[in-house]
Amino acid sequence: MANAMLDSTATTVISAQRLIALMTAMERYGGTPNGGMHRLTLSAEDGQARDHLSAWMHEHGLSVRIDGIGNMFGILDWAGPDAPTVMTGSHLDSQPRGGRFDGAYGVLAACEAVTAVRARVATEGVVPRCNFVVVNWTNEEGARFQPSLLGSSVYTGQMTLADALGRRDGEGISVADALQAIGYAGNAPPPIPQAYVELHVECGAELERADQHFGAIVRHWGAVKYRLAFLGRQAHTGPTPMAQRQDALLGAAHLVCALRALADRAPGTLHTSVGRLEVRPNSPNVVPGEAVAFIELRSPDAAVLAWADAEFAACVRAAETAAKVTSEIRFVDRRPAGPFDAALVALAEQEAAGLGYPMRRLDTIAGHDAVPMALRCPSVVLVVPSVGGICHHPAEFTKPEDIILGGDILARVLWRLCRDGLPGGTA
């Protein structure tokens, strides 16, 4: 099947050599010696990666726009101002010491897929029926600034630009200052798409377990994310009697354990986590006076998520009592579960089947920029396998043949939209 995918006589096949070269070049910006990636959003490395992408866009005749939150748009408006726009891409930022495929693959495969479609249009003399936009979203990962999906949330109106620009990292640097520092504080009006297609590595193991090479996300789980501070009393760890301590970190520890137990009460339908703690003053011989926990509740079922949210509040109260501390919620982000566009899923399935690859229909528990985009326009996430299901780790890996297959199917989907127009009769 792989040979059919790479057959030079097949139509709308991307250049494997070009895509691999694009990905290899991008790894220079934040790549780690152990094969991972450390390219936090709006860091110097992210600025270099953005410069590289911008140069590619200009070189290939795409006009570049940067909006107020730093989202990058490479625009090919060859079908005219009245034609619909199809947006495709993902994000270049990574987790701290994370993987090199998550996000960047979707941006660079979009670049190559649009190149492949343009070549076929030139060869066959087809009049394109849609414009294309390649997008790089700001702060998808949410590692440096919270919440995640920051750029796409501003773009879709779920967060105000002023709120997003005011977010600060652990060192007190704001999003606005970080954008200025790397030269990506834009103000251009963003393009408005009528469809959004995002290609991604699965960040899970379902495709690999099923021995399948391509999937489409048909549903995204809902999530509630909290930043909650436990507030105690800073004290010396030596002379302060145990019974008199008001240990903020102890309160957080009780909550961590309670949330893990909560997930066990709804197996398969609830994921919980505390992925980050900020402890102050964070000294070995000081009882912590403050511990800030970054908490996630995820479920595909609205009722389960509502139940978990109520139980979370009870867990917090119990932790306060056990540690003799108080707490305050400093941020909450709620994302409902929902479907992706059935017509785009069906189109991807047709194109995969044409290559001899059955498409697996999947849920996504992880967030993607397509989640907020689904509120704006028909959207879908297409995925290829992650070896071992590994993601957000230097060992994250997707086989070259799957990298090429995903890019090839993306190009074929874009070609169909370019030739035939959008599903539902939009010309």
241 preceded by a cis bond (ω within 30 of 0) = no
Q: What residues contact residue 12 under an 8 Å CB cut-off, 6+ apart?
A: 116, 117, 120, 408, 411, 412, 415
What confidence score (pLDDT) does residue 70 get?
98
**Of 418 and 1, which is predicted with more confidence?**
418
What confidence score (pLDDT) does residue 6 get?
39
What's the whole-number mean pLDDT along residues 78-103?
97
Contact at 8 Å (CB) between 76 and 133?
Answer: yes
The CB density around residue 101, as the number of other CB atoms within 10 Å, is: 24
% of the chain exceeding 90 in pLDDT: 94
What confidence score (pLDDT) does residue 12 get?
55
The CB density around residue 310, as the number of other CB atoms within 10 Å, is: 10
Q: What is the pLDDT of residues 22-31, one digit of tens each?
A: 999 999 999 9
What's the whole-number mean pLDDT along residues 381-385?
98
- pTM comes to 0.87
Q: How confident is the model at residue 378 (pLDDT cuts 50, 70, 90)?
A: very high
Q: How confident is the model at residue 365 (pLDDT cuts 50, 70, 90)?
A: confident
Q: What is the pLDDT of residues 287-323, one digit of tens each?
A: 999 999 999 999 999 999 999 999 999 999 999 999 9
SS3 290: strand
Given a cut of 80, whether residue 74 has pLDDT beyond it is yes
Contact at 8 Å (CB) between 140 and 152?
Answer: yes
Domains located in the chain, CATH noted: 2-221+337-420 (3.40.630.10), 223-335 (3.30.70.360)
C-alpha span between 425 and 29 (Å, rounded): 42
Q: Which residues of 400-423 are buried (b: 16+ CB within 10 A; e: fewer)?
A: eebbbbbbbbbbbbbbbbbbebbb
Given a cut of 90, whether residue 379 has pLDDT beyond it is yes
Q: What is the pLDDT of residues 150-198, one digit of tens each?
A: 999 999 999 999 999 999 998 999 999 999 999 999 999 999 999 999 9
Instruction: With CA atoms as reference, report the closest residue to 12 among 96, 92, 89, 121.
Output: 121
Q: What is the pLDDT of residues 243-286, one digit of tens each?
A: 999 999 999 999 999 999 999 999 999 999 999 999 999 999 99
What confidence score (pLDDT) does residue 2 get?
36
